[in-house]
Chains A and B, each alone.
Chain A
Amino acid sequence: MALLSIRNLTTIFNCEEGQLKACSNVSLDINPGQTLGIIGETGCGKSVLGMSVLRLLPANAVINGQIMYKNQDLLTLPDKEMCKVRGSEIGFLPQSPSTSLNPVLSIGEQLTEGLQLHRGMIKEKARIIALDILRSLGLKDSARTSAEYPHQLSGGMKQRVLAAISISGQPSLLIADEPTKGLDAVNRIQVVDLLRQLSRKTRASLLLITHDLKVAAALCDEIAVMYSGEIVEKGPAEQVLNNPLHPYTQGLVASLPERGLYPIPGHSPGLLDDSPGCRFYSRCPIGNEKCKCQPIINREVDGVHVRCLYIDQSGGAQQRIYGRGFQSEAG
Chain B
Amino acid sequence: MLNYISRRLVLLLIVVLGVTIMTFVSMNLAPGDPAEMIAMARYGLENLTAEEVEHIRISEGLDAPVWIQYTHWLAHALRGDFGRSLVTGDPVLQEIIVRAPATLMLALASLIVSLLIAIPAGIISAAKQNSLLDYLARSGALLGASMPNFWLALLLILLFSVTLGWLPVFGYGELRHIILPAVTLGTGLAAVSTRLIRSSMLEVLEQDYITTARAKGLREGNIISRHAFKNAFIPVITVIGLQLGHLLEGTVIVESIFGWPGLGKLLVDSIFARDYALIQACVLLFAVFFVLINLLVDILYVYLDPRIRYEKKG
A102 contact from B215, B231, B304, B310, Cβ within 8 A? B231
**Interface 1/0s, chain B 196-217, versus A by CB < 8 A?**
0000000000011101111111
Q: Which of A28-36, A79-87, A201-209 lies at the interface?
A: A79-87
Cα distance, A118 to B215, chains bound together (Å): 12
Tell whether A101 pairs with B209 under 8 Å between CB atoms, given A151-B306, A151-B307, A152-B310.
Answer: yes
Cα distance, A56 to B170, chains bound together (Å): 54
Q: Is A43 an interface residue (CB 8 A)?
A: no
Q: Are B307 and A165 in contact (CB under 8 A)?
A: no
**B217, B230, B231 — which one has the most chain A CB atoms within 10 A of its CB?**
B217
Q: Is A189 an interface residue (CB 8 A)?
A: no
Residues of chain A within 8 A of B213, CB atoms compared: 102
Cα distance, A319 to B219, chains bound together (Å): 53
| Nearest chain B residue, comparing its CB with the CB of A54 | B215
Q: Is A249 an interface residue (CB 8 A)?
A: no
Q: Are B307 and A114 in contact (CB under 8 A)?
A: no
Cα distance, A151 to B310, chains bound together (Å): 9
Q: Are B208 and A104 in contact (CB under 8 A)?
A: no
Q: Are A87 and B215 in contact (CB under 8 A)?
A: yes
Q: Are B310 and A83 in contact (CB under 8 A)?
A: no
Cα distance, A103 to B207, chains bound together (Å): 11
Q: Are B208 and A117 in contact (CB under 8 A)?
A: no
**Interface 1/0s, chain A 146-172, versus B by CB < 8 A?**
000101100000000010011001000
Q: Are B306 and A86 in contact (CB under 8 A)?
A: no
Q: Is B305 an interface residue (CB 8 A)?
A: yes
Q: Is B227 an interface residue (CB 8 A)?
A: yes
Q: Which of A88-96, A126-134, A256-264 lies at the interface?
A: A88-96
B216 contact from A103, A104, A152, A169, Cβ within 8 A? A169
Q: Is B25 an interface residue (CB 8 A)?
A: no
How many chain A residues touch B (CB < 8 A): the figure is 31
Q: Is B162 an interface residue (CB 8 A)?
A: no
Q: Are A149 and B306 in contact (CB under 8 A)?
A: yes
A83 to chain B, nearest CB (A): 5
Q: Are B306 and A114 in contact (CB under 8 A)?
A: no
B230 contact from A85, A87, A104, A152, Cβ within 8 A? A104
Cα distance, A162 to B209, chains bound together (Å): 10
Tell whether A94 pairs with B217 under 8 Å between CB atoms, given A102-B227, A103-B306, A104-B230.
Answer: no
Residues of chain B within 8 A of A88, CB atoms compared: 217
Tell whether A104 pairs with B304 under 8 Å between CB atoms, given A92-B212, A96-B208, A99-B208.
Answer: yes
Q: Are A169 and B231 in contact (CB under 8 A)?
A: no
B216 to chain A, nearest CB (A): 4
Cα distance, A185 to B218, chains bound together (Å): 34
Q: Is A100 an interface residue (CB 8 A)?
A: yes
Q: Is A113 an interface residue (CB 8 A)?
A: yes
Number of A-B contacts (CB under 8 A): 76
Tell whether A85 pairs with B217 under 8 Å between CB atoms, given A102-B231, A104-B230, A104-B305.
Answer: yes
Cα distance, A272 to B109, chains bound together (Å): 54
Q: Which residues A100-118 have CB closer than 8 A to chain B?
A: 100-106, 113-114, 117-118
Residues of chain A within 8 A of B230, CB atoms compared: 104-105
A228 to chain B, nearest CB (A): 24
Tell whether A99 pairs with B209 under 8 Å between CB atoms, given A104-B230, A149-B306.
Answer: yes
B131 to chain A, nearest CB (A): 11
A90 to chain B, nearest CB (A): 8
Residues of chain A within 8 A of B304, CB atoms compared: 104
Residues of chain B within 8 A of A86, CB atoms compared: 214-217
Residues of chain B within 8 A of A169, CB atoms compared: 216-217
Q: Are A101 and B306 in contact (CB under 8 A)?
A: no
Q: Are B217 and A165 in contact (CB under 8 A)?
A: no
**Interface 1/0s, chain B 221-250, versus A by CB < 8 A?**
000001100110010000000000000000
Residues of chain B within 8 A of A101, CB atoms compared: 209, 212
Residues of chain A within 8 A of B234, CB atoms compared: 104
| Nearest chain A residue, comparing its CB with the CB of B212 | A100
Q: Which residues A39-64 have CB closer than 8 A to chain B?
A: 54, 56
B200 to chain A, nearest CB (A): 13
Cα distance, A54 to B213, chains bound together (Å): 12
Residues of chain B within 8 A of A118, CB atoms compared: 217
Q: Are A100 and B211 in contact (CB under 8 A)?
A: yes
Given A99-B207, A102-B227, 11 extra CB contacts under 8 A: A84-B217, A86-B214, A88-B217, A92-B212, A102-B209, A102-B231, A104-B234, A104-B306, A118-B217, A149-B307, A169-B216
A-B contact pairs, 6 of them (CB 8 A): A87-B215, A100-B209, A101-B209, A102-B209, A103-B307, A165-B212
Residues of A near any B CB (own CB < 8 A):
54, 56, 83-88, 91-92, 94, 96, 99-106, 113-114, 117-118, 149, 151-152, 162, 165-166, 169
4 A-B pairs with least C-beta separation: A87-B217, A92-B215, A86-B217, A149-B306
